Structure 1
Amino acid sequence: MSLPFPSPSDPAAGRTEVFLRYLDFFRESIVEKVATLPEPELRASRLSSGWTPLEMLKHLRYVELRWIEWGFQGRDVPAPWGDRRDDRWYVAPDETLGSLVADLRAQGAHTRAVVEAADLETVGPPGPRWEGAEPPTLERILFHLVQEYARHTGHVDVVVELAGGSVGE
C-alpha cells in the first residue's frame, strides 16, 4: 500500500508528525520500488559503486539503528555496523527481501515509538556513536535521517529504472 507524499500543505500536529510522515513515506517508497525487481536484480548492481538493492534496504535499517538506538538512546548495540563487511555494504546469502523488509519496518516502528515519546529538543546521552562530540538533539538526528532517506530514494529510483522496474514517485 502506497503512502501519500507528505505534502507541506497537509495539516500536521507539529514538527514531530512532519518528520515521521517523511520517514514513513521514504521508507515505504524504497520498499515498494525494490519489491518491483525480479530476484536476480535484488542481488546485482547496476552501478559502478557496486551496491545492490538488498544492500540498500539493510543499510537503511542500520542507519536508523545507529542514529536512534545507538546514538540518541545510547543503547549498547552489539553490531552497529552490521550492514558492512570489508568496508562495504553486505547482505548474507540467506537474507531475503522479506526478512530485510521486515527488519527495516521493525526498525521504523522503533524509531516512531522513540520519537513520539520524546521532545525534539532532547539530547541523548554521550556515547561511542558520537566519537567524543556533543550529542545532537533528536530534531537534528531526524533531519539527518530524512536527508539520508531522500538521497537513497533517488539512488533506488535510478537503479530500479535501469533494471526496467517502475519509475516515478
Structure 2
Amino acid sequence: MAQISGEVLGDERGTLLAFVESQRAAIREAAAGLTEEQAASRPSASELSLSGLLKHVAEVELAWLRMAQQRPNESARTQEDYAEAFRLVGDETIASVQIFWDGVSAELTAFVAELPSLDETFPLPPAPWFPENAKVSMRWMLLHLIEEFARHAGHADVIRESLDGTKAMG
C-alpha cells in the first residue's frame, strides 16, 4: 500500500510518485537484515535473488529515467552481460546497490517534479517488444515503474519467505 504522509502531494504527480516509492520500499524491506550471502541465495525455484532484484530494479529505473531525459544510459547492458543485471559482481554489495538506487530514485523524483506536465512524451528505443516509432508519456513511465516494481516486490516476498519465513504482510 502506498505510504501517505504530510509531504505527499494529493495531485496525480504526487500520488504516482508515492506509489512508486511504496513499491521501492517493499523491495528494500524484503532484503533488510540479511547477510550478503543470504541476499545472494536463490532459495526458490527461480533464478532470482534479493540482491539481484535490488540491482535489477535500480538499473531498470535508471534506464527509464535516461529514456525520459533522452540521455544515454551510463549503465546500459549488452546482451553478453545481461545476466549480471541480476547478481552482484566485483565489489558490489547490498549497501552499494542501495546507495546507487537511492541516487537514481532521487534523480527520477526531481525530474518528475520539474516536468511541465505528465503528458510530456519521449520516444521508445527500437526493440522487438516496443512498437516501431512509439512514444509514451511521463505518466505511462511512472505507471510502468509501479508495475515493474510491484511484480518484483512479489518475487522478493516469495524469496524472503523461502529464506527465513519472514512475511511482508504479517
Return the TM-score normalized by structure 2: 0.83
Question: In the alignment, is residue 57 of structure 1 matched against residue 57 of structure 2?
Answer: no
User: What secondary structure does 1:136 align onto?
Assistant: strand
Q: Which 4+ stretches in 1 moved above 6 angstroms?
A: none
Gaps of 5+ in 2: none
Question: Which of 27, 46, 69 is residue 73 of structure 1 equivalent to?
Answer: 69
Quote how far apart the aligned CAs of 1:35 are: 1.7
* CA distance, structure 2, for counterparts of residue 125 and residue 133 of structure 1: 7
Deviations 1:41-75 (A, max 9, x none): 11111233312111100100111111111x11110
Summarize the Cα distance change of 1:86–1:24 in structure 2 as closer, same or farther, 3 Å threshold. closer
Correspondence for 1:123: 121
User: What secondary structure does 1:163 align onto?
Assistant: helix
* CA distance, structure 2, for counterparts of residue 128 and residue 103 of structure 1: 27
Contact 2:30 2:50 in 1 (8 A): no
Quote how far apart the aligned CAs of 1:99 are: 0.2
Correspondence for 1:31: 28
Summarize the Cα distance change of 1:73–1:124 in structure 2 as closer, same or farther, 3 Å threshold. same
* CA distance, structure 1, for counterparts of residue 18 and residue 118 of structure 2: 15
User: What secondary structure does 1:81 align onto?
Assistant: coil
* CA distance, structure 2, for counterparts of residue 128 and residue 90 of structure 1: 26
* CA distance, structure 2, for counterparts of residue 122 and residue 72 of structure 1: 9
Summarize the Cα distance change of 1:86–1:101 in structure 2 as closer, same or farther, 3 Å threshold. closer
Contact 1:27 1:149 in 2 (8 A): yes
Deviations 1:117-156 (A, max 9, x none): 1111001256557684322000111110001111111110
Return the TM-score normalized by structure 1: 0.83
Correspondence for 1:6: 3
**Which is worse superposed, 135-144 or 117-126?**
117-126
* CA distance, structure 2, for counterparts of residue 126 and residue 40 of structure 1: 37
Correspondence for 2:96: 99
* CA distance, structure 2, for counterparts of residue 66 and residue 108 of structure 1: 12
Contact 1:30 1:153 in 2 (8 A): yes
Gaps of 5+ in 1: none
Aligned residues: 162
* CA distance, structure 1, for counterparts of residue 25 and residue 16 of structure 2: 14
Question: What amino acid is the match of 2:122?
Answer: G
